[in-house]
Structure 1
Amino acid sequence: MDITIRQARLDEYDALGEITAQAYLGDGLLDYGESDPYLPELRDVAKRAAAAEVLVAVEDGRLLGGVTFVPAGGPMADIARSGEAEIRTLAVATEARGRGIGESLVRICVDHARATPGCVGVVLSTQRSMHTAHRIYERLGFTRTPDRDWNPVPHLDDITLLTYELTL
């Protein structure tokens, strides 16, 4: 696998936003499909990059996927506590799946967290149906933290996100 993982460039934001949106749509993760209110957030890589570190996986100049790494205390954090980094919006293009790209992106985030002064853990949220992602997290040593599960849309009871953490 000759894949490079690096910080996303401005000229890649639109393509990564579309990969992320299509991954969530294709996997049936958005309750309202193309009209889901979260879809514009998934496409807004510029917003994520302004507040966190957006990393991409690239092979021969082709974008394969990406992830958002939120350092400890970053404004994009949803569930991170003091001293924790957070992983968000992990997505791999459909045609690039099954090659270890998602796992490589998560590993880089863990490495970044270990290199962050004062960072003692990494946390993330995931949907119940993201079974492939769950296997990646568990293989890398993340454990489920049901006491931290949460609902990003409180008026909709059926959207509870599962949480995982890794102690560094």
Structure 2
Amino acid sequence: MSNAILVRPAVEADYSHIARITVDAYMEAGYFPSADHPYMLQIQQVADRARTAPILVAERGGEVIGSVTLAVAGDEWADIAREDELEFRMLVVDPAVQRSGAGKAMVEAIIDRARSLEGVNAVALTTGGHWTSARRLYDKMGFGRMSERDWPVEGTDIMLVVYRLEL
């Protein structure tokens, strides 16, 4: 099996893998008590999400091992995107293969895509305040904290922190 990681647009055959990986990653992080939480149920509806937002997957050896959703300001899936930003959300890597380079490969693909979009001068994201491995990745890749843009998830004790990378 090749160790090379391919980042590509998601196709319908990927949706069940994306849903499983997303649940596994969020549950592993301890953010939700069960996969039945309303937000968890929403993000498992990958086909619905794919109708309104680009989704990329990381694949290694023909197996989907990660995914990420993209948005620009005004899109249904945009939480924080400003007019000049490409936002990415729900970047997840299967917990069984985390630290394999899949997260970094997806972020590099996002940065390349952002550079190709007219009017986009930055990449922005939110991540959990306690997701230290994700935050280390964003720090290493040159993203800067935008603490003035941090925000709480309504109805939870989750604080999301914002990062931005100028292109």
For normalisation by structure 1, the TM-score amounts to 0.92
Tell me, yes or no, if the aligned pair for 2:4 and 2:60 is still in contact at 8 Å. Answer: yes
| Aligned equivalent of 2:15 | 13
| Aligned equivalent of 2:150 | 149
How many angstroms apart in 1 are the aligned matches of 2:45 and 2:143? Answer: 27
| Aligned equivalent of 2:25 | 23
Matches within 5 A, 1:1-168: 1-30=3-32, 32-153=33-154, 155-156=155-156, 158-168=157-167
How many angstroms apart in 2 are the aligned matches of 1:83 and 1:152? Answer: 24
How many angstroms apart in 2 are the aligned matches of 1:27 and 1:17? Answer: 16
Deviation for aligned residue 1:118 = 0.5
Local SS of the residue matching 2:56: strand
Tell me, yes or no, if the aligned pair for 1:52 and 1:69 is still in contact at 8 Å. Answer: yes
Q: CA deviation digits over 1:107-133, x for unaligned, max 9?
A: 111111111110011111111111110
How many angstroms apart in 2 are the aligned matches of 1:18 and 1:41? Answer: 13
How many angstroms apart in 2 are the aligned matches of 1:88 and 1:51? Answer: 13
Deviation for aligned residue 1:81 = 1.0
Amino acid at match of 1:44: Q
Q: May I ask how many residue pairs the two structures share in their alignment?
A: 165
What stretches of structure 1 move > 6 A for 4+ residues in a row? none
Runs (5+) with no aligned partner, structure 1: none
How many angstroms apart in 2 are the aligned matches of 1:41 and 1:106? Answer: 23
Tell me, yes or no, if the aligned pair for 1:13 and 1:46 is still in contact at 8 Å. Answer: yes
Using the aligned pairs only, state the percent identity.
36
Superposition CA RMSD, Å: 1.4
Deviation for aligned residue 1:73 = 4.2
How many angstroms apart in 1 are the aligned matches of 2:83 and 2:148? Answer: 17
Deviation for aligned residue 1:72 = 4.9
Tell me, yes or no, if the aligned pair for 2:151 and 2:161 is still in contact at 8 Å. Answer: yes
Deviation for aligned residue 1:35 = 3.1
How many angstroms apart in 2 are the aligned matches of 1:34 and 1:137? Answer: 26
Tell me, yes or no, if the aligned pair for 1:71 and 1:116 is still in contact at 8 Å. Answer: no
Residues 75 and 34 (structure 1), Cα distance of their counterparts in 2 relative to 1, 3 Å cut: closer
Runs (5+) with no aligned partner, structure 2: none
